[in-house]
Amino acid sequence: MKEKTQVADIDRSMYDFRYSEDDAYKVDEGLTPEIVEQISKEKNDPDWMREFRLKSLEIYNQIPVPNWGPSIEGLDMDHIVTYVRPKDNKMENDWDNVPTDIKDTFEKLGIPQAERKSLAGVGAQYDSELVYHNVKDSVAEKGVVYTDIESALHGPYADMIHDHFMKLVPPTDHKFAALHGAVWSGGSFVYVPKGVHLDFPLQSYFRLNAKGAGQFEHTLIIVDDDAYLHFIEGCSAPKYNVANLHAGCVELFIGKNATLRYSTIENWSKNMYNLNTKRARVDEGGKVEWISGSFGSHVSYLYPMSVLAGKGSRSEFTSVTFAGKGQNLDTGCKVVHAAPDTSSYVNTRSISKDGGISTFRSAVTIAENATGSKSSVSCQSLMLDDISRSDTIPAMDIRTSDADVGHEAKIGRISDEVVFYLMSRGMSEEDARALIVSGFADNVGKELPLEYAVEMNNLIQLEMKGAIG
């Protein structure tokens, strides 16, 4: 059972602090129709959403657990709390009014500082609820909507939520999509009107504080024709010796000639089962850019998917995954070329050490009508010792002869000669190896805003501590 507990092999004190749950309201452990009804009542759902939740629960009970990836036998839904919130919770748009312990959490994680660094808007979720939200006046004046999704369910955008919610990721997609449909809570809704280009990014940060709990936030973003948005999400949780679960869902709708850049740094603690689902639909001439850094969790299943539905639509996926001791990270991406002249580019890096397992899966489908399409997949793996593991599992389903498709994979170890050279220049062996790993992961770092690139490099430094010997 030891492998199912938190592995404290690095100093994660910046992320591992936590506060008492004495003031939290939570539902009972487990998953029953009564609990789902209770969550729906807490959220003041409209009737259609309550029915959707109950139907999703039925689907969840019918779908088997995946048997093709890392084992999730340590995840017992009978002992997961699916909804937790502070008893005095209400969403604030004034940082000073956020409860002190929650405010201290996000202060330590840098959320107010990030807002002051000219982000267009910031949302902060604590356990199951969005506790803080603020959007610059100049952004709101452009007609951009950025709010918690529950508020949007009851406002002027209720019909838009109804028309888009879990349409890209239906509950029938897989077992944990169905779970999400039943117990989802929190998350963000973004709408960028036609022709609007945001000069600064929007940001959401998700913090799971509660022990033995799940977080099931839903992010729904609609970028209308000829618009541009950069959206950033960050995730973290303290360590516990029991399983926690993250089964969020991200749905992205990109209009004609619109662009959405979606950046993520996930730093869940190593008792977390990260079973997240992300999917984008891109219309004619549109583009989605995925930037992803995955550092935490005990087990991850994470494969952002792009559906290139319109002629000339494009997808770019850039990621780095770091699997340390006690981690089995199964990550990758999917692309469906469903229209002519579409293109996709996948560029990934995976790093494993101390027995960590990193698996990259890619799935590229080019439909019969997607003539003139192009796809390039490149994955590189770096193993830092002889007890770690790295695998690449590509799949390509090409249904037209008029397509240009390529895949390359490379796996290797850190060069002793390069380490020796850096040490001859005055660096310690530990710092030399960390520098090499940071350079290996630079494909993601250079695509991130400065403060997130710094955080990613700090995470690499933390993971590399004690990696020698």
Q: What is the pLDDT of residue 90?
A: 53
Does residue 207 lie in a domain region? yes
Residue 172 domain boundaries = 26-415
Integer Cα distance of 107 and 17 in angstroms: 12
Six token digits for residue 408: 């390359």
Contact 369, 398 (CB under 8 A): no
Q: What is the pLDDT of residue 3?
A: 38
Does residue 442 lie in a domain region? no
How far out from the chain centre does Cα 409 lie? 24
Q: What is the pLDDT of residue 99?
A: 53
Does residue 111 lie in a domain region? yes
Integer Cα distance of 142 and 198 in angstroms: 9
Task: Give the pTM.
Answer: 0.83
Phi, psi of 168 (to 5 degrees): -80, -35
Q: What is the pLDDT of residue 439?
A: 79
Phi, psi of 317 (to 5 degrees): -130, 120
Does residue 462 lie in a domain region? no
Per the structure, how many domains does the chain have? 1
Look up residue 191 and give its amino acid.
Answer: Y
Does residue 271 lie in a domain region? yes
Does residue 445 lie in a domain region? no
Does residue 199 lie in a domain region? yes
Q: In what helix (H) or strand (E) does residue 176 lie, and over which residues does it extend?
A: helix 175-183
Does residue 397 lie in a domain region? yes
Summary count for the chain: helices (H), strands (E): 13, 25
Q: In what helix (H) or strand (E) does residue 271 lie, and over which residues does it extend?
A: none
Largest Cα–Cα separation, the chain: 69
pLDDT one digit per residue (tens) for the chain, 469 residues: 333 333 334 444 444 444 444 546 777 787 899 999 999 998 899 999 999 999 999 999 999 998 889 999 888 888 888 887 765 555 445 555 555 555 554 455 454 454 444 444 455 545 444 444 456 566 778 899 988 888 889 889 999 999 999 999 999 999 999 999 999 988 889 999 999 998 878 877 766 655 667 788 899 999 999 999 999 887 655 554 457 888 999 999 999 999 999 988 777 777 889 999 999 999 999 999 999 888 778 899 999 999 999 999 999 999 888 898 889 999 999 999 999 999 999 999 888 888 999 999 999 999 999 999 999 999 988 888 889 899 989 999 999 999 999 998 888 877 788 888 888 988 888 888 878 877 777 766 667 665 566 666 666 666 665 443 3
Contact 162, 48 (CB under 8 A): yes
